[in-house]
Amino acid sequence: MRQDPLPPEVSSLFWDLDSRRLRWDRDRDQMIGRILAAGSWKAVTWLRQRAGNDALRDWIVRHEGRGLSPRQLRFWELLFDLPRREVDRWLRSERRQVWDRRADR
């Protein structure tokens, strides 16, 4: 099965992997997470065209925003109409706060 190569703005995010070996059907979760957390708007646009907003929203809900900074999570909350109370709960979780405080230093 032939796979189109990833665009440069996406493949550059996977500097620690051989991006030619990434497959959407197998590596979708990892790709979505990395692009939402570190991708340029061009990479996010590619992702939205590839997966669709509903799939990205579902990914964020399923992962409870893990891997995204509070600022990023608030942005995606607005863009994908995530329930504010749910996002607030994710951000207040003890495990999350430990990580967020560590990352701020």
So what's the pLDDT on residue 100? Answer: 63
- Note the pTM of the prediction, 2 decimals: 0.83
The one-letter amino acid at 25:
D
Hunting for tokens 């893990």 — which residue is that?
Answer: 66
- Of 8, 11, 43, nearest in space to 27 by CA: 11
pLDDT tens series, the chain, 105 aa: 346 788 989 989 998 887 778 888 899 999 999 999 999 999 999 999 999 999 999 999 999 999 999 999 999 999 999 999 999 999 998 777 655 655 544
Query: How does DSSP assign 17-70, residue by residue?
Result: S-GGG--HHHHHHHHHHHHHHH--HHHHHHHHHHH-HHHHHHHHHHHTTTTS-H
So what's the pLDDT on residue 17? Answer: 83
